[in-house]
Structure 1
Amino acid sequence: MRVRLKGLNSVKKKLADGTTKTFYYAWKGGPSLPGKPGEPEFIAAYNAAVARKIEPPRGVLLSILQGFQATTLWDDLAPRTRRDYVGLIKVIEKDFGDFPLSALADRRTRDIFMNWRDKRAKASRRQADYSWQVLARILSWAHGRGLVIANPCEKGGRVYRGSRAEFVWTDADEAAFLASAPKHLHLALILALWTGQRQGDLLRLAWTQYDGKVIRLQQGKTGARVQVPVGAPLKAALDADRGKAGLILLNSDKEPWTADGFRSSWRKACAAAGIVGVTFNDLRGTAVTRLAIAGCTEAEIATITGHSLRDVRSILDAHYLNRDPALGESAIRKLEKRTNSPNQASN
């Protein structure tokens, strides 16, 4: 007889070798379970987890934090986002799990939460903002459901003011990297510049996703499905090894990269090439900039990189285009071609 385990949560994940595996958890955000449903070890681990679980008392923030993880909003988050949220929710639970919901309407509560964010900002301003964002989103959900009467984290602003505005890879950076870096890192650079995709998505990219003309992938962060036509330089690099199985990007041992291993190797290669001030993540913005310089519209850029139109516009307006001298040069050359001035006529 098959026993139905209440609250059991399963998540399918794509492994580094391209295969898919199902992971089981006692509940959403709960501990992972070994084996498969029905196996004695699995049942024992589930029962132990449930026995340790303490139902949160009503009227405290912990009940809202756990309630959010049982919603369709939670289910719709990308797997990577859910993992990030779980870590931050655990931090919030530790600091405010027993915070009374009735106190959320007190004007002093906003100051309490802001002081908490300021304290976390001492270690990392980005993480402090992310924690605030998660708490604000959960409270917004609870407020919309009528579970709380106020959201003290609404419109809290940010403490991180960093910008990658000037951090765009130049042609000289690209040439220096290709001249100095190990061969197994060259394809990663070309892929990033010609697709505008994130590091994680490129490290998971398999040969089956390339048909000789386009690359098809689903972005891990947003879930957006992207189809990128392959330009000539990228096609030449890919076709040299096309026909292989498994993942496209491999380390020097011909094994799939780990995220930490790739970042470490990339930093060392950049240092050896004399490249400073730019990271692999900056290649995504660099791709946006180069597409714009080539005359692509915002819609065309978004189709390739998977950004929303609003995000493309934001990148072009605030972070890259106003800093790239090549754009000014391109603009003036276009103006010259369209202008019949007296000076031009006399020359």
Structure 2
Amino acid sequence: MPSCGERPPPASVIAMRDEYPNAGRYKDRHGRWRWRFRRAGKTISLPHEPGHPEFEEAYDAAIEGREPRSAEVVMLPHASVPRSLKAAWRMVPTSLPEWGRLDPETRARQSKIADKFLNAEIVEGEGVCWADMPVEDLRRRHVKMIIAGMSDTPHAARHLLTVLRRMILVALDEEWIESDPTYKIKHRPGYVGWKAWPESMRAKFEKRWPIGTTPRLAYALALWLGNRRGDIADLTPDTIDGEKVRLTQGKTGRDLVLEITPMLREVLDGADLSGPTILKTAYGEPFSKKSLTGRMRDWTKSAGMPAGYTLHGLRKTLGKMLAESGATTRQIMDTLGHTDIKHAELYSKEAEQERLAQAGMRKVTRMVTPRNKAR
């Protein structure tokens, strides 16, 4: 019987007691209604309300005198552990504005690097991948260990460090961490750069591939427009506007207007410009970037040239010519489409070093020559 002043329990609760023997409803010290199982002097708390899966499991366990079984957690194929490296990477496209400014090729390349890293095991054979590591557990020593393990591929290590920093930036913005474990970690591998084509190599190529051939057209476009292989492969006859070429760079998105020099005009006049692109395969189809790189390797080999002279090397050749002819850094930037002045300054500094060294040695020669004559 309820005590004086206490309302009797509703009929639904009485029915529940009949359905769940030894289970009862009570009000805790905070005034909230809860359920518990009481038998033989033992009291076991029951979560939620009758009908809830956790209540049902806890009640059955109390009746059977065992511990409740936890529900099995099944990870979906594309799910990620909260606040993990994988979770951070999945937020990069929507959280970092600079990601959207990258060209599609760069985004695809960095995504491939991230996927390979995240799916790699932290310790081989343990079955735990970097993807599931909480960002807050990533330490500076871990980053150094990762980079050190890639000493045989220094450029790949540098690219991975760039990708890792994107994950860290997301974690900082989301306030998952308070400090950057990659702070001031530098990895700048020695860089030889693309090989510029000296005059002797250019003469060899031009002798082997006369005007009117596809190799000569590819060579002339790369050399006298100074653009990347993708931009060269994508050029259409419509980009030729009188004595100018108008193009949009794939990597930077910059719109360039470049003058057609007499050297390039001579080659264009001997080419088939019926489309769909200026450069065409033997089947009349556009070249892909990769196929154009492979074909240039074959063409230089056929010309008797050593390995290492590439389409991008022709871009560097034009930059070197511009600097040696006295072009300003800004003129080099606007011809080659650089967005970072540091890249253009490399050409200027190299040319200036050569000019200064030559002038200095001439002075030495003039000073020493009279002495030798006197002897």
Change (3 A) 1:144 1:301: same
Higher relative contact order (CA 8 A, sep 6+): 1
1:261 Cα deviation (Å)?
Answer: 2.4
Aligned to 1:76: 101
Amino acid at match of 1:57: V
Q: C-alpha offsets along residues 6-27 of structure 1, whole Å, 9 cap, x if unaligned? A: xxxxxxxxxxxxxxxxxxxxxx
* 1:42 counterpart residue number: none
Matched, 1:103 2:137: yes
Alignment match of 1:288 (pick from 319, 326, 334): 319
Gap regions ≥5 residues in structure 1: 1-50, 336-347
Return the alpha-carbon distance in structure 1 between the equivalents of residues 187 and 348 of structure 2: 22
> Would the aligned equivalents of 1:110 and 1:153 in 2 still touch at CA under 8 Å?
yes
Q: In 2 relative to 1, CA 274–321 (structure 1 residues): closer, same or farther, beyond 3 Å?
A: farther
Q: Secondary structure at the match of 1:97?
A: helix
Identify which of 285, 289, 293 aligns with 1:255.
285
Cα distance between partner residues in 1 of 2:331 and 2:79: 50
Q: Distance in 1 between matches of 2:269 and 2:313?
A: 26
Alignment of 1:290-309 (within 5 A): 290-308=321-339, 309=341
Give 1:322 deviation, angstroms.
6.1
**Deviation at 1:141?**
4.2
Point out the more displaced range, 198-207 or 250-259: 250-259
1:212 and 1:235 in contact (8 A); partners too: no
Distance 1:272 1:329 in 2: 36
**Matched-pair contact (CA < 8 Å) for 1:212–1:239:** no
Q: Which amino acid aligns with 1:126?
A: H
Given that 1:181 and 1:272 are in contact with CA atoms closer than 8 Å, whether structure 2 keeps it comes out as: no
User: By how many angstroms is 1:197 displaced?
Assistant: 0.5
The 2-side partners of 1:310 and 1:162 are apart by 15
Same amino acid, percent of matched pairs: 23
Q: Does 1:175 align with 2:203?
A: yes
Report Cα offsets for 1:258-278 as digits up to 9, x if no partner.
333222221122122232243
What is the aligned counterpart of 1:149 among 172, 175, 178?
Answer: 178
**CA gap 1:322/1:282 in 2 versus in 1, 3 angstroms:** farther
| 1:59-138 alignment runs, 5 A limit | 59-71=83-95, 72-95=97-120, 96-104=130-138, 109-122=139-152, 124-138=153-167
Question: In structure 2, what is the equivalent of residue 11 of structure 1?
Answer: none
Alignment of 1:137-286 (within 5 A): 137-158=166-187, 160-164=189-193, 167-181=195-209, 183-241=213-271, 244-276=274-306, 277-286=308-317
* RMSD of aligned residue pairs (Cα, Å): 2.7
Structure with bigger gyration radius: 2
Q: Secondary structure at the match of 1:168?
A: coil
Aligned length: 274
Contact 2:320 2:351 in 1 (8 A): yes
Unaligned runs of 5+ in 2: 1-74, 121-129, 364-375
TM-score (norm: length of structure 2): 0.66
